[in-house]
A and B are shown apart, each in its own frame.
Chain A
């Protein structure tokens, strides 16, 4: 695993220095609250930015593996990620701190919006702004997906890149059902990884 696959970042005025000791519970809560509050149209973009690029709590590869696991387990994947990530740094208390940081502030905001909506019930202006935000959010998602791919490109991992393209084409282009695609792709990928590692070891 490459020690630091993320390009060097000099984020001026964002965070003082990459922390070497694991962050405390309050720091975890605040970090997840911050990415959550920034996360219009999805938190993944900001989770990658904070965890890999700003705080360097994980390398790109570690993030990818943790996210992949949370993605394939049931439940909202970023919520799973907060619990798994927090627990890895600070045990179950860290998991709960990250989980609470991710969910508490936006839950309050959305509840306030619900109360306002119940009073007025007109969302036309909001919806128009939302249309523009959604377009930008999709662009951000595309950019972060490319960043997640960089470790695979750097290693020129042909098998992984083929599998990735295969899943993308099957789901995104041909719109095959998710379960059927995964039923084929998961065993194929595990088998390919197994044989590749054996070949390297031999």
Chain B
């Protein structure tokens, strides 16, 4: 494998990065920025910001910003290579760990550890919701929109897509 081959650089970069991305893809975005903009100069500052916006705007897991970085480096093969490198090794790791923990006739520790992680995981998700709200909701109307959506989604069974659509329309109209 040629060390200069851009596909190979993408695979090794994101494969390695994913192994340290504990707490989800959002935690890895600053590192992606450092590598793509500052170290390798794959993208300009504006290209990176726009890629982040496109990844947020598209449906699917937010990790897909790596697809866009891969595309900027090496076109469609780059996009595929970066996505798989970021997602597949850790997914397989999760598969093996989960199988290990759920093997029957084992000690009670695996189940105990999993139960113990639940409140921490929910606490972390709640914290990231707060952090996101603080960075997203810069106006009173934005705060109101977030609060309304939270209440409506909690008390009703409405399909969340309608709420997202309403948000998008309000944004498009320049109200939020």
Chain A residues close to B by CB (< 8 Å): 9, 11, 36-46, 49, 64-84, 87-88, 92, 95, 99, 102-103, 105-107, 109-111, 113-114, 117, 121, 123, 125-149, 152, 157, 159-161, 163-168, 170-173, 178, 182, 185-186, 189-190, 192-194, 197
Task: Please give, as numbers and ranges, the residues of chain A lying within 8 Å of B150 by CB-CB distance.
Answer: 138-140, 142-143, 146
Count contacts between A and B, CB distance < 8 Å.
Answer: 350
Task: Please tell me if the beta carbons of B59 and A74 are within 8 angstroms of each other in the complex.
Answer: no
**Residues 135-157 (chain B) with a chain A CB within 8 angstroms:** 136-137, 142, 145-154, 157
Main secondary structure of the interface of A (DSSP, over half): helix
Task: Please tell me if the beta carbons of B160 and A194 are within 8 angstroms of each other in the complex.
Answer: no
Task: Please tell me if the beta carbons of A46 and B101 are within 8 angstroms of each other in the complex.
Answer: no
Bound-state Cα–Cα, A171 to B126, Å:
9
Main secondary structure of the interface of B (DSSP, over half): helix
Task: Please tell me if the beta carbons of A172 and B127 are within 8 angstroms of each other in the complex.
Answer: yes
Given contacts A133-B164, A139-B145, contact A75 B59 (CB under 8 A): no
B9 → chain A closest CB, angstroms: 19
Task: Please give, as numbers and ranges, the residues of chain B lying within 8 Å of A67 by CB-CB distance.
Answer: 121
Task: Please tell me if the beta carbons of B80 and A107 are within 8 angstroms of each other in the complex.
Answer: yes
Bound-state Cα–Cα, A130 to B120, Å:
30
Task: Please give, as numbers and ranges, the residues of chain A lying within 8 Å of B142 by CB-CB distance.
Answer: 131, 135
B71 → chain A closest CB, angstroms: 5
Q: Is there a chain A Cβ closer than 8 Å to B3's Cβ?
A: no
B89 → chain A closest CB, angstroms: 8
Most A Cβ at <10 Å: residue of B25, B99, B160: B160
Task: Please tell me if the beta carbons of A103 and B133 are within 8 angstroms of each other in the complex.
Answer: no
Choose one: B83, B90, B157, B172; the contact of A74 (CB below 8 Å).
Answer: B90
Choose one: B59, B115, B130; the contact of A172 (CB below 8 Å).
Answer: B130
A94 → chain B closest CB, angstroms: 10
